[in-house]
């Protein structure tokens, strides 16, 4: 029988369960550090660059390009290491947090390194990056105002194990806002449910939604936005999209408006517009002599957005996928029986799409806007555009497309809107080269 507890397996024979000693290398996109053992590349969780650790292989085997592993023992610790505050954060446990073992300032430095590396590698941009805390954050805990808890076969609510469907019952989640934990959901009995969504809105009591429930069946909640550029209460579906950090929405709105400097009378385009936060801020800036065209695909979000922007009738919503509204070929894929085929796109742009725009906001999903959408945006010849990115690699790819088409990266701000995790939000401002 092979002894999986000793570091004897050669690099080309490593498999799940084997343990080896490695030195943690650079941080990688996704919350891992890169390590090597006898030529094999390992993506290691729960380590810090420079540490010597014993790792256990969790995925992969002979012939794979890389292996995944957990640091199960720290042999030489980094001075940036701390005891994880959450008992469910560690090797083989909850997959929600990546960096609870790292001091908060170092977490932000690691995230900045990832953004810098992605921009350099994918866009050829060498840019110093600082990840800023989001206002209201003290210790990186109790910030998440929207949390989905999985439910196991016994009806206990909890979190999923990293890269697994297994549910770990928990009695607390330290990054969840206190009102969420205070609902008693984690002590409830949820037999027959798939998951439980809990929302702690800015206004009113927490809302508990049993899943599966579509957005049409979920209640509305009110979020209070108090940014310098926009002060307004916004109604949003409890299962719709809203920033989960209580200070994030206002921070991003001000970063976008400060970067674009929209002027009275200008025409603005808000892509992937959601419930109208950026559209509303743009409308305040350009005034009733201006125009804002917002594009969003989600039916429920559009219906709610039209109510949210009623007081600024110079905002016009177009419902549809952004690529289809532009009349360009989709880069998405079809799920289900036709999986793998490209979605069909209209042959011409939507009739409500303006022929030009002064400024554009793009807030795409994690996959990014993509080459075809970037080309369509550039064809409108905006003087500036703001790109709100939740994925550094997608931002870097689209940065490369924009630079190829004459738009230079001006300012770049990165925000720690998801402490204890590897996620980072960026607001990049691009300007047309003179």
Question: What pLDDT is attached to residue 216?
Answer: 62
DSSP 228: S
Band of pLDDT at residue 255, cut at 50, 70 and 90: very high
Residue 433 has pLDDT above 90, yes or no: no
| pLDDT value of residue 213 | 57
| pLDDT, average across residues 354-361 | 97
- Please tell me the distance from the alpha carbon of residue 415 to that of residue 251, in angstroms, as a whole number: 9
Question: Which of 64-73, 134-143, 215-224 is least confident?
Answer: 215-224
pLDDT at 336: 41
Angle at 104 between CA 100 and CA 109, to 5 degrees: 110
- Mean pLDDT, range 124-148, rounded to an integer: 97
Q: Supply the pLDDT for residue 346.
A: 63
Asked if 283 and 312 count as a contact pair (C-beta separation under 8 A), the reply is yes
What is the reported pLDDT for 83?
A: 98
Q: 3-state class of 407 per DSSP?
A: strand
Break the chain into its structural domains and give their ranges.
Answer: 11-76, 222-432
Contact 223, 248 (CB under 8 A): no
Question: What does the pLDDT look like over 174-200, one tens digit per residue?
Answer: 999 999 999 999 999 999 899 999 999
Rounded to the nearest 10 degrees, what angle do helices 104-123 and 392-404 cross at? 30
Whole-angstrom distance, CA of residue 130 vs CA of residue 137? 16
CB 22 within 8 A of CB 55: yes
CATH numeric code, 11-76: 2.40.50.140
Residues 360/382, Cβ–Cβ less than 8 Å: yes
Q: Does domain 222-432 have CATH number 3.40.50.150?
A: yes
CB-based contact 205:257 (threshold 8 Å):
no
Question: Predicted confidence band at 214 (pLDDT cuts at 50, 70, 90)?
Answer: low
Q: Is 286 exposed, middle or buried (0-12, 13-18, 19+ CB in 10 A)?
A: buried
Cβ(426)–Cβ(108) under 8 Å? no
Q: Is residue 296's pLDDT more than 80?
A: yes
Q: What is the 3-state secondary structure (H, E, C) of 148-212?
A: EEEECCCCCEEEEECCCCCEEECCCCCCECHHHHCCCHHHCCCCCCCEEEEECCCECCCEEEEEC
Cα dihedral sign for 369, 336, 294, 226?
negative
pLDDT of residue 343: 53
pLDDT at 173: 98
Lowest mean pLDDT among 120-124, 160-164, 191-195, 250-254: 191-195
Q: What is the mean pLDDT of the chain?
A: 93
Q: 128 in the Ramachandran plot: left (φ > 0), alpha (ψ -120 to 50) or beta?
A: beta
**CA–CA separation, 97 vs 107, rounded Å?**
12
Average pLDDT over residues 7-20: 81
Which residues belong to the active site? 390
CA 283 to chain CA mean position, Å? 26
Query: pLDDT category, 2, cuts 50, 70, 90?
Result: very low
Find all residues with CB under 8 Å of 256, minimum gap 6, and list them. 278, 281, 361, 386, 388, 427
Radius of gyration for the alpha carbons in the chain, expressed in angstroms and rounded: 23
Q: Are 149 and 196 in contact (CB under 8 A)?
A: yes
* Tens digits of residue pLDDT in 22-35: 999 999 999 999 99
Share of the chain above pLDDT 90, in %: 89
- Tokens 């049409």 locate to 216
pLDDT tier at 13, thresholds 50, 70, 90: confident
* Beta bridge partners of residue 290, listed in sequence order: none
What pLDDT sits at residue 367? 95
Among the residue ranges 13-17, 158-162, 339-343, 404-408, the one predicted with the least confidence is 339-343
Whether the pLDDT of residue 401 is over 70: the answer is yes
Lowest mean pLDDT among 57-66, 170-179, 267-276: 57-66
Weakest-pLDDT range from 44-48, 178-182, 344-348, 371-375: 344-348
pLDDT band at 9 (very low <50, low <70, confident <90, very high): low
More confident residue, 141 or 5: 141
Name 310's Cβ contacts closer than 8 Å, sequence gap at least 6. none
């Amino acid at each position: 029988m092979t002894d999986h507890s000793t570091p004897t397996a050669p690099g080309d024979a490593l498999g799940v369960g084997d343990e080896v000693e490695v030195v943690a290398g650079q941080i990688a996109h996704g919350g891992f550090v890169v390590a090597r053992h006898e030529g094999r590349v390992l993506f290691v969780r729960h380590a810090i660059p420079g540490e010597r650790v014993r790792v256990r292989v969790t995925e992969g085997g002979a012939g794979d390009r890389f292996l995944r592993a957990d640091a199960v023992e720290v042999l030489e610790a980094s001075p940036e290491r701390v005891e994880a505050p959450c008992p469910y954060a560690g090797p083989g446990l909850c997959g929600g947090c990546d960096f609870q073992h790292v001091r908060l300032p170092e977490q932000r430095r690691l995230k900045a390194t990832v953004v810098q590396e992605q921009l350099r590698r994918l866009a050829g941009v060498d840019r110093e990056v600082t990840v800023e805390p989001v206002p209201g954050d003290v210790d990186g805990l109790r910030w998440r105002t929207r949390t989905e808890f999985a439910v196991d076969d016994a009806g206990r609510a909890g979190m999923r194990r990293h890269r697994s469907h297994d549910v770990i019952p928990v009695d607390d989640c330290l990054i969840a806002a206190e009102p969420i934990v205070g609902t008693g959901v984690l002590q409830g009995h949820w037999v027959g449910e798939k998951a439980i969504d809990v929302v702690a809105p800015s206004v009113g009591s927490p809302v508990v939604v049993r899943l599966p429930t579509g957005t049409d069946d979920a209640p509305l909640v009110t979020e209070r936005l108090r940014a310098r550029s926009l002060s307004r209460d916004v109604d949003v579906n409890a299962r719709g999209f809203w920033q989960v950090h209580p200070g994030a929405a206002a921070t991003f709105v001000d970063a976008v408006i400060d970067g674009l400097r929209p002027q009275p009378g200008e025409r603005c385009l808000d892509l992937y517009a959601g419930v109208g936060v950026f559209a509303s801020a743009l409308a305040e800036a350009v005034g009733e002599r201006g125009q804002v065209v917002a594009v969003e695909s989600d039916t429920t979000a559009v219906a709610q957005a039209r109510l949210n922007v009623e007081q600024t009738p110079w905002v016009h919503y177009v419902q549809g996928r952004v690529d289809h509204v532009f009349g360009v070929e989709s880069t998405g894929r079809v799920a289900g029986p036709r999986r793998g085929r490209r979605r069909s796109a209209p042959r011409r742009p939507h009739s409500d799409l303006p022929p030009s725009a002064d400024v554009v906001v793009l807030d795409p999903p994690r996959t990014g806007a993509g080459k075809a959408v970037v080309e369509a945006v550039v064809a409108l010849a905006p003087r500036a555009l703001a790109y709100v990115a939740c994925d550094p690699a997608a931002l870097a790819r689209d940065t490369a497309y924009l630079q190829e088409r004459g738009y230079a990266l001006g300012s770049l701000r990165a925000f720690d809107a998801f402490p204890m995790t590897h996620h980072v939000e960026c607001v990049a401002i691009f300007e047309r080269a003179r």
